[in-house]
Chains A and B, each alone.
Chain A
Amino acid sequence: AQTVTQSQPEMSVQEAETVTLSCTYDTSENNYYLFWYKQPPSRQMILVIRQEAYKQQNATENRFSVNFQKAAKSFSLKISDSQLGDTAMYFCAFRGGGADGLTFGKGTHLIIQP
């Protein structure tokens, strides 16, 4: 079974700073997908970014980018120019090639201070 580990329960940075959230996973598969979801206080789960394991290029979506290290099984999320609205729980998720459900990490609570 796959596992996803987020080692930072909580992080706090100042507005406009850059912050990196870490995620590691364990799998024996070669083809899989990784995601970052944001859950603000409204509790809505919002897709932030996705990465296909077969792609070497790191995914980028505006201020959000990932550092995907396949050999190390690491998938970190970088948020540039952080904004107050980025305050939320962030979940790393794994989707293996043989299963359709997502396996989630425990989440990182990110607080952006004004």
Chain B
Amino acid sequence: DAGVIQSPRHEVTEMGQEVTLRCKPISGHDYLFWYRQTMMRGLELLIYFNNNVPIDDSGMPEDRFSAKMPNASFSTLKIQPSEPRDSAVYFCASRDSTGGGYEQYFGPGTRLTVT
């Protein structure tokens, strides 16, 4: 089975540009999570969805960040406008609530560099 798929793997953009990160969760998983990893702050939860509905977005750093999940197989994380401090690795993860183990499966991440 395919794991969590993220695109692009690397993104380099200039300050002020819009950035869109994409995620396809594991088929059948009903939870989707977005995390950000930086050297200073480690791994932080940004937002998560259950059955395509945003449940907790308290980790989203500011209004420049937005996330959507239009269907069960696709989610986006958008940054507009981007700033150098947004440079990080962004992970998407998914989980199956019927499993009972609560483990999350991560995608390969998108390394974002804002110059």
Contacts and interface: CB of A to CB of B under 8 A. Distances in A.
A16 interface: no
Nearest to B34: A101
Interface residues of B, number: 24
A50 to B, nearest CB: 5
- Interface residue SS majority, chain B: strand
A68 interface: no
Interface residues of A, number: 22
Given A43-B108, A44-B108, A45-B91, A104 B42 contact: yes
Interface in B25-55: 31, 33, 35, 42-43, 45, 48, 50, 55
Given A102-B45, A104-B42, A42 B108 contact: yes
B55 A100 contact: yes
B8 interface: no
A104 B43 contact: yes
Contacts of B108: 42-44
Contacts of B95: 100
A100 B106 contact: no
Interface of A: 33, 35, 37, 42-47, 50, 52, 91, 95, 99-107
Interface of B: 31, 33, 35, 42-43, 45, 48, 50, 55-56, 59, 89, 91, 93, 95, 101-106, 108-109, 111
